[in-house]
Chain A
Amino acid sequence: MPHDDDHDHPHGSPLDDLTARVMALETILTEKGLVDPAALDALVELYEHRIGPRNGAAVVARAWSDPDFADWLRRDATAAIASLGFGGRAGEHMRAVFNTPAAHNLVVCTLCSCYPWSVLGLPPVWYKSAPYRSRAVIDPRGVLAEFGVTLDPGVAIRVWDSTAELRYLVVPMRPDGGEDLAEAALADLVTRDSMIGAGLARTP
C-alpha cells in the first residue's frame, strides 16, 4: 500500500494512524512467526461471513415453534443452542432470557463488550460504545426510546449486566400474525437488536 504522507497534518487522520499501527503490528508478529497471516484471514472470514445474528434468529424461531425446545432453552441454553450447531467462543456458558407481556429484558456489558458471539456474531458499534454502556443500566427506558421502542409503563424492565463469562440471548416475544409461518420465515422476523433487548421482533 503506498504511503501518502500529508505534511499539513503530521499526525494524519486517526484512520491512517491506525492502519499504519495495525499493519506494523501484523508485520512484526508475522516476521517473528507468532501469527500466521492465513489464520488472520480465516478468523475474519469466520466472523464476517459465517457467525452472525442469523444463528440466534434460528434459535429464537425454534423456541417460538417448539415449546419443548423453548423449555430446554430456558433450562440449559448452552445445550439447547448446541443442538442447532452453535457454540464455542463467547458462547460457552449461554443463558436465554424470555420477554413476556409483563417483563422486558435488556443486555449490556458496562465493563467491556461481552456479547454472545456464537449466536449474534461480533457486537455492533453502539453496543460497545460509551453512551450505551453508561446509560443502559441507569436509564433503560430512555435507551429503548432511542431505539424507537416504547414499552407500556407497566412493563418491568430487567437489565442484565454481563459481568462474567455467561452470555445472554434475549428471546423476544413472538409477534401476532405469523401463525402460519414456517420456522425459516419466523427467523426472518428476528432482528439482531431484538435478541439484545434493544428492539422487538418484526411483525409479519
Chain B
Amino acid sequence: MNGPQDLGGQAGFGPIAPDPDTPVFHAEWERRAFALQLAASAMGHWSIDASRHARESLHPADYYASSYYAIWTKGLERLLVRHGFVSEAELEAGRALTPGAQPKRVLRAGDVPATIARGGDFARDPGGRAAVFAPGDRVRTRVMHPLGHTRLPRYARGKLGTIEATQGFHVFPDTNAHDGGEAPQWLYTVVFEATEIWGTDRDPNGTLSVDAWESYLEPA
C-alpha cells in the first residue's frame, strides 16, 4: 500500500542522528514492547507480513508521530483485537475482562533460545516451477498501487533494471499479509542505475537494488 512506511526518496525528515554506541533499548517500556511483539507472534496466528501490514496501516499522522516501538505496540494491539485475543474494552481498562481466543501455543522462557535460534524459513520448494528470469535479464518493474501489503517500494515501480541474482522461491508477502496464503514465488535481486530511479542530476556512479518477487517484474 502507498502508506506512511514507504519512505524511500521522501524529503523533509531532517538530518540523521548517528550514534555509534547506542544502547539496545532506551526505556524499560521498549524492552517489554519488543518482547511482547515476539512472544505474541510466537502464538502462531499471524505472519511477519501481517505484522508489517498492521504497522503500515496506522494513520500516517500517527505513524510519523510515533517512535519505533510505539508503532510496534499499536500494530500489535490491532492484531490481538482482530484475532479475538483481546478486546478494545480490555485495552481501555488495562486488564483482562472476558475470555478470548485460545492460542495455538504459548512461548515459554525455556523455549526462547531454541525458538530464536531456529528462526523462520521463508524459502519454499518450487516443486518444478522454473524461474522465468535469469541473471543478466533486463526487466521492468510493474506499475501498481495495491491497496494491500506490498514490498515493491513506490520509487522502484515502472523502472528498468537487471536481474542480478535468483534468490530462491520465497513466501509472497502481498498475499501472506492477508488471506491469500504463502503463494510462494521466485525472488530476484534487481539492480537499477541510480539515474533510472532518481534522474540524471543524481550520482551517475550509483546503483540501487531491491529484492523483487517474480510477479513484480515483466520482461524488458
> How far apart sit A14 and B68, CA to CA, in the bound complex (Å)?
13
Tell me the number of A-to-B contacts counted with CB atoms below 8 Å.
Answer: 277
Please, how many angstroms separate the alpha-carbon atoms of A133 and B64 in the complex? Answer: 13
Confirm or deny: A158 has a beta carbon within 8 angstroms of a beta carbon on chain B.
Answer: yes
| B-binding segment of A28-36, A61-69, A175-183 | A28-36
Contact call A25/B119, Cβ cutoff below 8 A: no
Provide the residues of chain A in CB contact with B170, threshold 8 Å.
164-165
A113 touches B119 (CB 8 A): no
- Rounded to whole Å, the gap between the CB of B209 and the closest CB of chain A is 6
- Structural contact, B16 and A28, CB atoms closer than 8 A: no
Complex Cα–Cα for A45 and B54 (A)? 26
With A134-B7, A156-B205, A163-B153 given, is the CB distance from A36 to B91 under 8 Å? no
- State whether the Cβ of B9 lies closer than 8 Å to any Cβ in chain A: yes
| Number of chain B residues close to chain A: CB under 8 A | 97
* Chain A residues within an 8 Å CB radius of B20: 191-193, 199
Contacts of B166-220 to chain A: CB distance below 8 A: 167-168, 170-171, 173, 187, 189, 191, 194, 197-198, 202-203, 205-213
Find out whether the CB atom of B112 lies under 8 angstroms from the CB atom of A42: yes
A93 and B116 alpha carbons, distance in the complex (Å) = 14
Q: Closest approach, in angstroms, between the C-beta of B81 and any C-beta of chain A?
A: 11
A199 CA to B103 CA, complexed, in Å:
44
Closest to B107 in A: A39
Q: Assess whether B14 is interfacial by the CB under 8 Å rule.
A: yes
CB-based contact B155/A164 at 8 Å = no
Contact B39 A19 (CB under 8 A): no
B129 close to A (CB within 8 Å): no
Q: A124-B22, A156-B205, A193-B18 are in contact. Are A164 and B187 (CB under 8 A)?
A: yes
A125, B17: Cβ atoms closer than 8 Å = yes
B35 on interface, CB distance cutoff 8 Å: yes
Interface pair B206/A157, CB less than 8 Å apart? yes
The contact of B27 among A15, A41, A88, A147, by CB within 8 Å, is A15
Which chain B residues lie closer than 8 Å to A198 at the CB level? 18
Task: With CB as the reference atom, state the residue of chain A lying closest to B74.
Answer: A21
Q: Which 7 A-B pairs have the closest CB atoms?
A: A24-B94, A110-B8, A164-B211, A38-B109, A40-B35, A31-B96, A88-B119
A-B contact pairs, 26 of them (CB 8 A): A18-B67, A18-B69, A18-B70, A18-B73, A19-B29, A22-B32, A26-B32, A27-B94, A29-B86, A31-B96, A32-B96, A34-B106, A43-B38, A44-B32, A88-B117, A91-B119, A92-B120, A111-B7, A126-B17, A126-B18, A129-B17, A129-B68, A138-B202, A139-B202, A140-B203, A161-B153
Q: Which positions in B face A, CB cutoff 8 Å?
A: 5-11, 13-20, 22, 24-29, 31-36, 38-40, 43, 52, 55-56, 64, 67-70, 73, 76-77, 80, 85-86, 90-91, 94-96, 99-100, 103, 106-109, 111-113, 115-123, 151-153, 155-156, 167-168, 170-171, 173, 187, 189, 191, 194, 197-198, 202-203, 205-213
**7 other A-B residue contacts (CB within 8 Å) besides A34-B106, A89-B117:** A32-B86, A32-B100, A34-B40, A88-B116, A111-B56, A153-B205, A159-B209
